[in-house]
Amino acid sequence: MSDEVLFFQEFSITGGDFSSAGSVSTEIKSILKEIGFHPSVIRRAAIACYEAEMNVTMYAERGVVRLSATPAAIRIQFEDEGQGIADIELAMQEGYSTATPEMREIGFGAGMGLPNIKKNSDEFEITSEVGRGTKLDIVIKA
Amino acid sequence: MNLGQVAEILKCDVLVGENIDGVEVGGVCAADLMSDVLAFTKPGSVLLTGLSNVQSVITTHVAEVVAVIYVRGKKPDAEALKLAEQKGIPLLASRLSMYEACGRLWQEGLGVGSDLGGE
């Protein structure tokens, strides 16, 4: 029964709302802990989720996060409405960043976000349309 | 080394946290950019930072870091304090510079708490 859905929930993120940035990831971490995933799996999921949440907060107008968990894997999907990413290959390079000084002031924008999300995921898929938004689909195996 | 010993070496004020002697510290990660902490820090490390907003506490929580030590006399803002209390994350503050704080801990034998450690 490894594909039995243990949990599903949708969350929303408001772009530019830096004061609550990270709250979705904090909640998701608590949920995963309650379900009982291994701490190292939870850590990878929480790190990937937090980086992605910060990206939506920093670059999009709004976004939706869908968390689904089965005994075998954690899947987190992000869908945002925003500026999108013109060159995904370039954005995936460590150190490449289009962050503003305001983003750096809150400790982000080092150009490590997307590569770090990929590093912590077993499956990683990103698509984006300039002027429309970005979709990110990640899976962390239990 | 435990967090109480670290606090003594760095002459810290304890802002949040009880029984810090019972918190084991595996190494040190020093950074002001939270993306770097998320990318390189090993769980069980202590974070030394000058970033005093709530993101320092969320990063600590997410990356399984054991405590935050604010350097250069920085103090966490109200939101950071509130979240740390909720999550039981110790917050300490030192007046030392980042360089001196790291130097003192290195001298006492505390190692690198990130994946970037040299041989």
Contact criterion met (CB < 8 Å) for B62 and A50: yes
Find the closest chain A residue to B55 by CA distance: A106
| Domain ranges across chain B | 3-107
Contact criterion met (CB < 8 Å) for A106 and B64: no
Domains defined for chain A, CATH in brackets: 7-141 (3.30.565.10)
Distance CA A12, CA B105 (A): 41
- How far B105 CA sits from the closest chain A CA (Å)? 24
Distances (CA, A) of B109 to A4, A123, B24, B113: 48, 39, 14, 12
**Beta strand residue intervals within B40-95, DSSP E:** 46-49, 67-70, 91-93
Kindly state the tokens that stand for B86. 């909720």
Distance CA B86, CA B58 (A): 11
- How far B53 CA sits from the closest chain A CA (Å)? 7
Contact criterion met (CB < 8 Å) for B58 and A50: yes
Using only C-alpha atoms, what is the Rg of chain A? 14
Please say whether the beta carbons of B32 and B51 come within 8 A: yes
Distance CA B10, CA A121 (A): 37
Find the closest chain A residue to B79 by CA distance: A19
Count of other CB atoms within 10 angstroms of residue B106: 12
> Would you state the CATH architecture of domain B3-107?
3-Layer(aba) Sandwich (3.40)
Place of tokens 């399984």: B64
Q: Which residue has the higher pLDDT, B15 or A94?
A: B15
The tens-digit pLDDT sequence of chain B (119 residues) is: 999 999 999 999 999 999 999 999 999 999 999 999 999 999 999 999 999 999 999 999 999 999 999 999 999 999 999 999 999 999 999 999 999 999 999 999 998 887 776 65
**Which residues on chain B are in Cβ contact (under 8 Å) with A26?**
58, 61-62, 83
Place of tokens 């304890």: B14
**Which residues on chain B are in Cβ contact (under 8 Å) with A111?**
35
